[in-house]
Amino acid sequence: MSENKFLPICKKDMEERGWKQLDFVYISGDAYVDHPSFGHAIITRLLEAHGFKVGIIAQPDWKDKNSITVLGEPRLGFLVSAGNMDSMVNHYSVSKKHRKTDAYTPGGMMGKRPDYAAVVYSNLIRQVYKKTPIILGGIEASLRRLAHYDYWSDKLKRSILLDSGADLISYGMGEHSIIEIAEALDSGIAVSDITFIAGTVYKTKSLDSVYDAEILPGYEEMKQDKLNYARSFYTQYCNTDPFAGKRLVEPYNDHLYVVQNPPALPLSEGEMDDVYGLPYMRTYHPSYEKDGGVPAISEVKFSLISNRGCFGGCSFCALTFHQGRIMQVRSHESLLDEAKMITQEKDFKGYIHDVGGPTANFRQPSCEKQLTRGVCKNRQCLFPKPCPNLKVDHRDYIKLLKELRDIPKVKKVFIRSGIRFDYVVADKSDAFLEELCRYHVSGQLKVAPEHVSDDVLTLMGKPENSVYQEFVKKYNKMNQKIHKDQYLVPYLMSSHPGSRMKDAVELAEHIRDLGYMPEQVQDFYPTPSTISTCMYYTGVDPRTMQPVYVPKNPHEKAMQRALIQYRDPKNYDLVMEALKKAHRMDLVGFDKHCLIRPRKFEGRSQQKVPGQKTQNQKSSGKPGQNDRRKNKNEHSRRNTVQSDRQNSRQNTGTDRSRQKKKSIRNVHKKK
């Protein structure tokens, strides 16, 4: 094992190591970055540590099948991942418009990977190597492992295992399952016979050897009735726990089934330490220097991953399906060793950018029973109220942060990966809040209340608004106590299932009272395998099977989004339309409580008070006709103003031309 080299990316690299054939070739949709924040780095280094020869083909040309042959045929198989993000999320915004940059590609260039990358790469391999095992991994494969709603095609898609032609899926974080798969293949077991490994999905023609399984609705049944998909999804959701999860079978026809084995066990603290202690180069491959490097490294180079998993259970988050609800943490020693390593980097300026994970202040399982009996199937740890069995304790995290601050060369340790504010409120001690405000906030703390309407928050799986308001009070009071002027920056989401126009207006009023307009607003994005996406597709909450209002119309979504940024002049028309639709014209006017002012017509303010008719309405008595007259007058006025401006520009240009000619004549006369 080499401790000071990148893994092979070409035959020359293999020759330098004296290797004629690799055991595994890893195909990645991301550029090759040998850092533990990148899935391909963890899996390949872990295989290397277990004695396997591994090479990487990063972002192969999917239009050329020879691009996946540059390392030759591997002895045991191909490992395929779309990258750190689902390729469709990577490529498209929520409005399905192409993104302009890709942080996981050299130079931030977009277009270096295909749509549905895992499927495309696997099909490319199959064109060349007909029988070589293909194992899918990464978040795209993990969240598409069974039938799933695909927002970009607006269809219910089959398991990615079938469309890709791959043999196995290693879902979740994959450390346990990938080593078991590798050892099984190395022992001579055919890939078609590897049906027994936790954390994997396989396909079979018969259920004769499948035992103790729960049969899900068939794919055709789900296509015909969305409610069947909702039932199937919730069954999957209730079986994401490694201790209590059942084996699931999804039928496609009488001779084709996709079988999901229960999830792999969570990593122990020692295993987490081992994974993050592997000999990573901690940067991108030097071949990318000419392109300016890989932008994504800048976000993680000076950050520490201290935990995995999340028992927060937000409906719009896929963590339950991917990392699970059981917390997995690294030891203080492991984190301190990595922090000291970071301080030796030549461009380290004294700032550790983050210490956390999906939720920074979760450093232990939510309760004792999770490590033996698993998480509860039909209740959450924090929602709607904290569970009586929930352990709320920040002491370990406080100690870790203090130890990191005491490292020589460290000036400041920030927390940027997110604080679960309801967990802070549930803590009877204010010790962590004081530590946070005193040492780990850079003037602004980002938190995620997401909304203020309790109806919407319930569907989001978030605590009611009063809990966030309590946190705001505690935060402000603490900053007053320590004599610091620090602010909260709330993340807010528009158009989540359940959000009607009245809820969007309520959120806008909250923003008005804050005196703050968010620079960024997240429109709800229906990504694979979340409860919220299931609501979006089926129109019901899969937990209760009750109908849910879903804002799908692009124009309505634009109005809800505009309300959050109602102060932006570009949003005026949308905000006005939204307020009319919500019957909230009391918010149009000049009072402090109003969101926008009425427009001026023909030089005079036509302030409209709810219930009060304008002069034109009084004379005509026909609001519709009056509106048409107003529009016509406004259109005429704009045309007149535009014409006057054009004439003015033309006259100005003519006057300047005449003046210039006159000046030239005067010069000639003097000569």
Q: What is the pLDDT of residue 626?
A: 47
Contact status, residue 391 vs residue 426, Cβ threshold 8 Å: no
Dihedral angle at the C-alpha atoms of 26, 32, 38, 40, nearest 10 degrees?
10
Within 8 A by CB and 6+ apart from 465, the residues are 449, 451, 452, 453, 454, 457
Convert the pLDDT of each residue in 387-405 to its tens digit. 999 999 999 999 999 999 9
Is 310 known as a binding-site position?
yes
Cβ(171)–Cβ(145) below 8 Å: yes
CA 185 to chain centre: 34
Q: Name the segment(s) of the chain with CATH classification 3.40.50.2300.
A: 11-202
Higher pLDDT, 515 or 485: 485
Q: Are 55 and 7 in contact (CB under 8 A)?
A: yes
**Alpha carbon 337 to its chain's center:** 29
Amino acid at position 336, single letter: L
Question: Quick one: angle between helices 572-581 and 501-514, nearest 10?
Answer: 120
Which ranges of 207-286 does DSSP label H, i.e. alpha helix?
A: 219-224, 226-237, 269-276
pLDDT at residue 3 above 60?
A: no
Closest CA to 43 of 186, 227, 172, 209: 172
pLDDT of 609 over the 80 cut? no
- Record the pTM: 0.87
List, for residues 638-658, the tens digit of each pLDDT value. 444 444 444 444 444 444 444
155 Cβ contact list (under 8 Å, min separation 6) = 149
Residue 671 has pLDDT above 80, yes or no: no
| Nearest Cα to Cα of residue 233 among 497, 525, 537, 550 | 537
DSSP helix/strand/coil, 399: helix
Say what percent of the chain tops pLDDT 90.
Answer: 84
What would the CATH number be for the domain defined by 302-442?
Answer: 3.30.750.210
Q: Where in the chain is the domain with CATH 3.30.750.200?
A: 443-598
317 is in an annotated binding site: yes
CATH architecture for residues 11-202 = 3-Layer(aba) Sandwich (3.40)
**Confidence grade of residue 600 (pLDDT, cut at 50, 70, 90):** confident
pLDDT confidence of residue 515: 83
The helix or strand, by DSSP H or E, that contains position 659, with its residue range, turns out to be: helix 623-670
Q: How many whole angstroms separate alpha carbon 248 and alpha carbon 262? A: 8
* Residue 483 CB contacts under 8 Å (≥ 6 apart), including other chains: none
What would the mean pLDDT of 538-553 be, rounded to a whole number? 97
Distant-in-sequence, close-in-space partners of 527: CB < 8 Å, separation ≥ 6: 86, 89, 143, 151, 318, 533
Q: Is 671 exposed, middle or buried (0-12, 13-18, 19+ CB in 10 A)?
A: exposed
For residues 224-250, average pLDDT: 96
Q: Quick one: pLDDT at residue 47?
A: 98
Q: What is the CATH number of domain 443-598?
A: 3.30.750.200
pLDDT digits (tens, 9 = 90+) for 547-567: 999 999 999 999 999 999 999
* Residue 4 pLDDT: 58
Alpha carbon distance 530, 320 (integer Å):
8
Residue 433's identity, in one-letter code, is L
Residue 616 contacts residue 629 (beta carbons within 8 Å): yes
Place 418 in a pLDDT band, splitting at 50, 70 and 90.
confident
Q: Give me the chain's average pLDDT, please.
A: 90
pLDDT at 379: 85
Residues 6+ apart with CB under 8 A from 40: 26, 28, 30, 32, 56, 58, 81, 83, 138
Mean pLDDT for the stretch of residues 1-15: 83
Question: Rounded mean pLDDT of 290-313?
Answer: 95
Residue 628 or 217, more confident = 217
- Chain CA centroid to CA 586, Å: 37
Helical H runs in 524-622?
531-538, 554-564, 572-581, 615-620
Q: What angle do CA 183, 184, 189 make, to 5 degrees?
A: 145
Mean pLDDT of 585-610: 74
Report strand pairing: 148-150 vs 200-204.
unpaired
Q: Which helix (H) or strand (E) holds 426?
A: helix 421-426
Please tell me the distance from the alpha carbon of residue 88 to that of residue 519, in angstroms, as a whole number: 24
